[in-house]
Amino acid sequence: MKKNKDRGNPPGLPRITNIEVTRKNLPLRVVLLALAVVIAIVSFWYGFSELFGLEPGWREIKVSSGTLNCSEDFALLYNYVDAADVSATVQNKRLTALYTKATEDAYQLFNNEYASDELHNIRYVNEHINQEITVEPALYDALSAIVESGNRSIYLAPAYAQYNQLFVCENDAEAAQYDPQAQPDTKAYIAEIAGFANDPQMIDIQLLGDQRIKLQVAQAYLTFIEENEIAYLLDFSWMTNAFIADYIADILIGEGFTNGYLASYDGFTRNLCDSGQTFELNVFHRVGNDILIPATLSYPGGNSLVAMRDFPINETDRWHYYAFEDGRIASLLLDPADGTEKSAVSSMISYSKSAGCAQILLSVAPLFIADDLDAEQLDALTEEGIYTVYPEGNSVYTNDESLTLKLFENYNKINY
């Protein structure tokens, strides 16, 4: 989905320690090598099983066509169980076709890069300012969730267009041209955009029912748009995969595929099942320029999870972070109130059995993208079935007393 993926490893990328939960201090390159071996084995088994039939068990699902889609951002793992009337091979063919179509449609709906006269997607909305239009049902639902949450991040599209250039830079000298901390003009430009984006009188999405909306934009902002040659006023940006995860997961569940999980590289996971099976997830923590794993959490199937962090942990993260040689890390998480990048803690995992990834994200993002963490507001979200765990200092905090945490040495669990 991303372009220009041949960029080298960002300079100053934080080193990761305790990257693998069962063997502390295992070098990252060894983990990646082991992963490559697993992928090779899975690829071999895929070809073998296509010839001789698929055995029941866990399997990674790959899309079956080269049509533009968002599958590079996701991993779909599914556990096939032979049924009396449907074999694992037949299930796999059905699921592969369904997943392929869903990733294609999701890309077209939620990304401004896709243009179509027939599809009323997010780009279509941007091209019809101050007009009543009808949009696709899934997009209407997504925009409705954003409007109802009061989160204004989607209106920062012009700021992202400028700021995103930082994350494709090859070195610090190049990055300095787009770094708001190094360029007062850039900082002022993004702050001005944030002023418009945060004001419903300047820009707002009006929900008119029956999938009809109107992107209302004031004349003052229209003048600014024209003067600065701005292409898009709305962009899901770093939130995109939360909405896509829900879109794809709901399609799969609706067709009866409820025995697996879908996870994006940037922290959005949907468990398709509500079985008694238990899953594990690492809790990451940044201390200075070191990345640690102070704990792993265990959770039952059926949960949706959102993991937010202010540092990269994989190669694909280069599109959301830039690590400077002096150790400073710039992230894509901008506060819509003033357009500045910030995080209250280094990382945070929120999860729910009743809410999807988008609802969780819209609820917790304003608390994470802040100068200080408001634990009381996080605690209040438990009334909506949204729970949170985050590391700080030598402790791992949680507002879920039933959460199972496996803590590494020198870390404490604190309920709040």
**pLDDT tens digits for range 165-197:** 999 999 999 999 999 999 999 999 999 999 999
Alpha carbons 62 and 292: distance in angstroms, whole number: 31
pLDDT band at 13 (very low <50, low <70, confident <90, very high): very low
User: How much is the pLDDT for 349?
Assistant: 98
d(CA 207, CA 214): 7
Cβ neighbours for 43, distance < 8 A, ≥ 6 positions apart = none
The pLDDT of residue 80: 86
Distance CA 181, CA 188 (A): 10
pLDDT of residue 83: 63
CA distance 12 to 290: 11
- The closest of 366, 99, 376, 125 to 250, measured between CA atoms, is 99
Residues 359-390 have pLDDT tens digits of: 999 999 999 999 999 999 999 999 999 999 99
What pLDDT is recorded for position 82?
Answer: 66
Q: Is the pLDDT of residue 36 over 60?
A: no
The confidence band for 53, taking pLDDT boundaries of 50, 70 and 90, is low
Q: From residue 115, how far is each of 52, 103, 128, 164 by CA, in Å?
A: 41, 16, 13, 21
In a 10 Å sphere around its CB, with 0-12 CB exposed, 13-18 middle and 19+ buried, how is residue 133 labelled? Answer: middle
Is residue 224 over pLDDT 60?
Answer: yes
CA–CA distance, 182 with 416 (Å, rounded to integer): 38
Average pLDDT of the residues in 92-103: 97
Mean pLDDT, rounded, for 27-39: 35
Report how far residue 320's alpha carbon sits from residue 167's, in angstroms, rounded to the nearest whole number: 6
Q: What is the pLDDT of residues 329-357, one digit of tens each?
A: 999 999 999 999 999 999 999 999 999 99
Helix/strand/coil for 113: coil
Q: Which residues pair with 203 in a beta bridge?
A: 217
| Tens of pLDDT, residues 105-150 | 999 999 999 998 889 999 999 999 999 999 999 999 999 999 999 9
CB 21 within 8 A of CB 293: yes
Q: Find out whether 12 and 327 touch, Cβ atoms under 8 Å.
A: yes
Residue 375, pLDDT score: 96
Over 50: is that where the pLDDT of 21 sits?
Answer: no
Count of all residues that appear for the chain in the document: 416
Residue 345 vs residues 114, 313, 369, 404: alpha-carbon distances, Å:
35, 16, 9, 21
Domains and CATH numbers, the chain: 15-102+242-415 (3.10.520.10), 122-238 (no CATH)
The model's pTM is 0.87
Residue 31 has pLDDT above 50, yes or no: no
Kindly report the backbone phi and psi dihedral angles of residue 121, in degrees, each rounded to the nearest multiple of 5, phi listed first: -105, -165
At 226-282, the pLDDT tens digits run 999 999 999 999 999 999 999 999 999 999 999 999 999 999 999 998 667 889 999
Is residue 354 a contact partner of residue 383, using CB atoms and an 8 Å limit? no
Lowest-pLDDT choice from 15-29, 83-97, 109-123, 209-223: 15-29
- Report how far Cα 402 is from the mean position of its chain's Cα atoms: 26
